[in-house]
Chains A and B, each alone.
Chain A
């Protein structure tokens, strides 16, 4: 290799020619393939989060119950005092109805909170290794899934205590969970990317989730359907999911499929939009982290 001194280019202050501009285009397929390749990374990250979280804690995994149980207590007392009392429980104890809804909401809330801050929390990793950045919010969702699974154990204890078992229609929850996961993924990805640029969201997030909890759980969907309810389900797909899960598991009814369908449609659109937002914002992340 000979000596090759690079002569300073004369247009150095002008900037690069427009055709040289770097275009950050990631097709959904490439992204999905990259993500599939890094599935082990997602699991390792999730495992790390779980381990790191329960280190130096005395109660350990018990925390997964404590939160929904205490909220159930609050909500059940609120029900007694007349808040959201128009909820038809079909003879099932209100605490059970509330707890089931809280498991669903808890999954969503801890995904969004954990996943939303996951990129900020992992700045040192993001600045070091090239890996699909979606892995971080998705790993947080995996952690939230585990928490929900642990919280569900308490559900079975409550079934045994109250004598109200899960109904035969429980298998209906499978499509509902798909809608839940799609919607949660969409919100988590969007928040995770936005928080990097707009740090205010960090303070807004817990507040918004508190409000969301009240809206999705305390204001149950009415019995009669109207246009505004459909619109509401499109905006807040969690509400029909919680409604459907309660019907399927506790009341022995089928979910209201038209509401779930609207929720599924809007969640899918949200996911595509969120994914686009994420890849778009990902380009400049290392500059501001």
Chain B
């Protein structure tokens, strides 16, 4: 049973009916109209070895959840082959599979037998599940009286503790408090260490980067990239940036001109060196407000923000911001900016204004399953006794 946990998908196609017609009989009786289809997956193929951790990224509607359902084999593909060896545990919708009228205990047993486990095997894991889900005495209460968080914890605990060979997780990290999220990640790491294959769908790129070694990028149903997570992430972030650029509609009262990011001596921005951000704002009349400048990895959530109250004269205003010690590691970053009047009105809405490269050292890696909040570079000096033999270190 060495292949347990392997996933193979070859030329997978999946389409859905475009539901533009009502299924009413009186419509059907008229001339039959050809119904259209939309492709959810187009010629997707990959092989995943047992024990791999794969992150699935892509914009909304790119087919991630459909692919997961096809892998779970609850949905059949239109064309192609899917082989998943071993027991599949899936966390596709947070509360899916939990019966509201039953107690937590009964739900655990029900879900276990759906996964094909014997009662004895479930009983052996039962205490761990209850402890992880922090349910204690509530386990014998009907699930409909649980809070959303409790239901979710139960769902995750059941899927993660019943030792599937393949664990498919769709966007569960988005819910639950920070402490529980971290415990979920810890649990997933343990599951990975025990040799389970993990396929994770999330829009939380930082969490994906922390968990997964390999990335699959789906774009409109087509597999756009299949590479180590970091590289996929890089190109994905680039694509988000382009999308954000294209989608920008100027609803601003002020217009943004040229934006420059560079070293004062004219070189490329460098880690730990001073950097200057130059922004030109064109105003039709006198204006004042708070100017915000943020730096992000592509999305609208910045790593850091600097701000200042500024007054603008009619015509072109040049604003220069100097940061003495650039905390960013090597990579590509986006500059976001906005200006807000004292009344709270947007003079310039928060939008992507420019992109720039930073040269310097690579970021140190975080331990597996630990989500880094911001990829900030910190200079560090290490001292330790290097004379000991390597084995005892």
**Chain A interface (Cβ < 8 Å from any Cβ of B):** 1, 3-6, 8-9, 12, 15-17, 20-22, 24, 37-38, 40-41, 44-45, 48, 51-52, 55-56, 124-131, 283-284, 286-287
Compute how far the CA of A44 lies from the CA of B119 in the bound complex, rounded to whole angstroms: 10
Does chain A have a CB within 8 A of B294?
no
Compute how far the CA of A45 lies from the CA of B111 in the bound complex, rounded to whole angstroms: 10
CB of A286 within 8 A of CB of B69, answer yes
Q: Looking at the complex, which one of A16, A51, A286, A287 makes contact with B80 (CB distance below 8 Å)?
A: A16
CB of A45 within 8 A of CB of B110, answer yes
Compute how far the CA of A286 lies from the CA of B65 in the bound complex, rounded to whole angstroms: 12
Residues on B with beta carbons closer than 8 Å to the beta carbon of A21? 78-79
Residues on A with beta carbons closer than 8 Å to the beta carbon of B225? 5-6
Compute how far the CA of A131 lies from the CA of B115 in the bound complex, rounded to whole angstroms: 8
With both beta carbons as reference points, the residue of chain B lying nearest to A282 in the complex is identified as B76
Known: A6-B226, A124-B97, A130-B73. A16 touches B13 (CB 8 A): yes
CB of B226 within 8 A of CB of A16, answer no
Residues on B with beta carbons closer than 8 Å to the beta carbon of A287? 16-17, 75
Residues on B with beta carbons closer than 8 Å to the beta carbon of A52? 99, 101-102
Find the residue from A16, A21, A24, A48 having the highest chain B CB count within 10 A. A16
Known: A16-B80, A22-B76. A51 touches B228 (CB 8 A): no
CB of A22 within 8 A of CB of B99, answer no
Residues on B with beta carbons closer than 8 Å to the beta carbon of A3? 227-228, 231
Known: A1-B214, A287-B75. A124 touches B96 (CB 8 A): yes
Compute how far the CA of A24 lies from the CA of B82 in the bound complex, rounded to whole angstroms: 12
Compute how far the CA of A125 lies from the CA of B97 in the bound complex, rounded to whole angstroms: 4
CB of A1 within 8 A of CB of B97, answer no
CB distance from A78 to the nearest CB of B (A): 35
Compute how far the CA of A286 lies from the CA of B40 in the bound complex, rounded to whole angstroms: 14
Residues on B with beta carbons closer than 8 Å to the beta carbon of A56? 101
With both beta carbons as reference points, the residue of chain B lying nearest to A55 in the complex is identified as B101
Does chain A have a CB within 8 A of B7?
no
Tell me how many residue pairs across A and B have CB atoms closer than 8 Å. Answer: 121
Known: A127-B69, A127-B92. A22 touches B79 (CB 8 A): yes
Compute how far the CA of A124 lies from the CA of B224 in the bound complex, rounded to whole angstroms: 31
Task: Give chain B's interface secondary structure class.
Answer: mixed
Residues on B with beta carbons closer than 8 Å to the beta carbon of A129? 72, 74, 88, 90, 97, 111, 114-115
Does chain A have a CB within 8 A of B5?
no
Find the residue from B45, B78, B109, B231 having the highest chain A CB count within 10 A. B78
Residues on B with beta carbons closer than 8 Å to the beta carbon of A45? 110
Compute how far the CA of A126 lies from the CA of B72 in the bound complex, rounded to whole angstroms: 11
CB-contacts of B66-102 with A (<8 A): 69, 72-81, 88, 90, 92-93, 95-99, 101-102
CB-contacts of B2-57 with A (<8 A): 11, 13, 15-17, 39, 42-43, 45
Residues on B with beta carbons closer than 8 Å to the beta carbon of A15? 13, 15, 39, 79
**Chain B interface (Cβ < 8 Å from any Cβ of A):** 11, 13, 15-17, 39, 42-43, 45, 69, 72-81, 88, 90, 92-93, 95-99, 101-102, 106, 109-111, 113-116, 118-119, 142, 214, 222-228, 231
CB of A130 within 8 A of CB of B74, answer yes
CB distance from A41 to the nearest CB of B (A): 5
CB of B74 within 8 A of CB of A128, answer yes
Residues on B with beta carbons closer than 8 Å to the beta carbon of A9? 42-43, 222
Compute how far the CA of A126 lies from the CA of B90 in the bound complex, rounded to whole angstroms: 12
CB of A20 within 8 A of CB of B80, answer yes
Compute how far the CA of A12 lies from the CA of B11 in the bound complex, rounded to whole angstroms: 12
CB of B78 within 8 A of CB of A44, answer no
Residues on A with beta carbons closer than 8 Å to the beta carbon of B113? 40-41, 44
Q: Looking at the complex, which one of A4, A24, A51, A126 makes contact with B76 (CB distance below 8 Å)?
A: A24
With both beta carbons as reference points, the residue of chain B lying nearest to A37 in the complex is identified as B116
Could you write out 12 A-B pairs with CB less than 8 Å apart? A1-B214, A3-B227, A3-B228, A3-B231, A15-B13, A16-B79, A38-B116, A128-B96, A129-B88, A129-B111, A129-B115, A287-B17
Compute how far the CA of A236 lies from the CA of B365 in the bound complex, rounded to whole angstroms: 71
With both beta carbons as reference points, the residue of chain A lying nearest to B224 in the complex is identified as A6
CB of B13 within 8 A of CB of A128, answer no
Find the residue from A24, A41, A55, A126 having the highest chain B CB count within 10 A. A41
Residues on A with beta carbons closer than 8 Å to the beta carbon of B45? 6
CB distance from A17 to the nearest CB of B (A): 8
CB of B101 within 8 A of CB of A124, answer no
Find the residue from B13, B76, B119 having the highest chain A CB count within 10 A. B76
Residues on B with beta carbons closer than 8 Å to the beta carbon of A12? 42-43, 222
